[in-house]
């Protein structure tokens, strides 16, 4: 019988963001959060590699903590119908007032005014199950205007670009360092018949796409990458345009140095995660 391991990691709440960052780098997109963080892994050689990497991560991290209190527990779990559980883990989900995210296999009868965003959960991040994705989506829904040009930095599954198009954007440009993310974004665009309005490029932040004046830039990414994105904004975001970002907690947000040419318009929270809208200030001075 195939065996599975359940790994439960208990660390101080304010340290969870860096642990989740580590899990994402390890390719783990699903975890359960309770008093700790719980992940499941098949019992094979990858598990040993993962546990070694987790140990290195914790040893590196705790050296900077004032109070090092953490624990890992490890147990076997009986075989379960993971295929079914996987499918059941993605029920149709309403975000904001209009968007409904659903996987291709789920039936959903759209109500008046609802927009169905069909995304197939595969390897790329962006199924709608993570609060940071939902924060950007609900802020996007609130601020997007018909005909906007939208850039999506770290597009993952393409979920934010495709939502922007369904909500009225004229064009969406997604970029991601990960080739698989680009393939899955294109596939999701095809499923929604949006491939003519959506383009997805492999690239690092905005280095690899030509300067374009967007009305909205979306960015659900880790804090250092968001910081690295700021210098690009004058070349890619129109005056008066909006940067809608998530991927950080209140703690990270407090230490984020925001450039003077953008001002905060709105901030929202879901669980530990924060979503923020900044507006690029206008250079015109009214006498």
Ligand X SMILES: C[S@@+](CC[C@H](N)C(=O)[O-])C[C@H]1O[C@@H](n2cnc3c(N)ncnc32)[C@H](O)[C@@H]1O
Which chain residues interact with ligand X by CB under 6 A?
Answer: 124-126, 133, 136, 153-156, 159-160, 175-178, 181, 204-205, 220-221, 225, 247
Residue placing its CB nearer to ligand X in the complex, 10 or 201: 201
Rounded CA gap, 209 and 102, in Å?
A: 30
Closest distance to ligand X from the beta carbon of 128 (Å): 8
Rounded CA gap, 218 and 242, in Å?
A: 8
Rounded CA gap, 183 and 233, in Å?
A: 26
Query: Do the Cβ atoms of 161 and 173 come closer than 8 Å?
Result: yes
Residue placing its CB nearer to ligand X in the complex, 240 or 271: 271
Residue placing its CB nearer to ligand X in the complex, 4 or 171: 171
Closest distance to ligand X from the beta carbon of 228 (Å): 7
Kindly calculate the radius of gyration of the chain based on its CA atoms and give it in whole angstroms: 20
Residue placing its CB nearer to ligand X in the complex, 4 or 163: 163
Closest distance to ligand X from the beta carbon of 136 (Å): 6
Query: Computed from CA positions of residues 215, 162, 155, 143, in that sequence, does the dihedral angle turn out positive or negative?
Result: positive
Rounded CA gap, 213 and 230, in Å?
A: 15
Residue owning tokens 């379960």: 80
Closest distance to ligand X from the beta carbon of 173 (Å): 12
Query: Do the Cβ atoms of 238 and 215 come closer than 8 Å?
Result: yes
Closest distance to ligand X from the beta carbon of 198 (Å): 13
Residue placing its CB nearer to ligand X in the complex, 4 or 273: 273
């Amino acid at each position: 019988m195939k065996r599975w391991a359940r790994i439960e990691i208990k660390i101080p709440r304010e340290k969870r963001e860096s642990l989740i960052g580590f899990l994402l780098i390890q390719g783990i997109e699903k975890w359960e959060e309770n008093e700790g963080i719980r992940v499941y892994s098949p019992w094979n050689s990858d598990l040993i590699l993962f546990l070694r990497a987790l140990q290195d991560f914790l040893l590196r991290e705790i050296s900077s903590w004032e109070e090092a209190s953490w624990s890992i527990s490890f147990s076997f779990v009986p075989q379960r119908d993971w295929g079914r559980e996987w499918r059941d883990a993605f029920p149709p989900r309403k975000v904001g007032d209009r968007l409904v995210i659903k996987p291709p296999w789920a039936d959903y009868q759209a109500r008046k005014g609802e927009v169905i965003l069909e995304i197939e959960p595969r390897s790329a991040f962006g199924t709608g199950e993570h609060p940071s994705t939902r924060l950007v989506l609900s802020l996007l829904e609130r601020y997007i205007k018909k005909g906007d040009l939208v850039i999506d930095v770290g597009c993952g599954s393409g979920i934010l670009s495709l939502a922007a198009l369904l909500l009225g954007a004229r064009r969406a440009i997604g970029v991601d360092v990960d080739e698989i993310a680009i393939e899955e974004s294109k596939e999701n665009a095809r499923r929604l018949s949006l491939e003519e309005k959506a383009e997805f490029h492999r690239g690092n932040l905005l280095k690899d796409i030509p300067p374009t004046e967007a009305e909205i830039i979306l960015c659900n990414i880790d804090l250092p990458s968001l910081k690295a994105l700021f210098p690009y904004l004058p070349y890619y975001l129109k005056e008066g345009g909006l940067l809608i970002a998530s991927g950080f907690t209140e703690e990270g947000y407090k230490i984020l140095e925001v450039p003077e040419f953008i001002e905060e318009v709105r901030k929202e929270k879901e669980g530990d995660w924060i979503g923020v809208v900044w507006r690029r200030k206008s250079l015109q001075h009214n006498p």
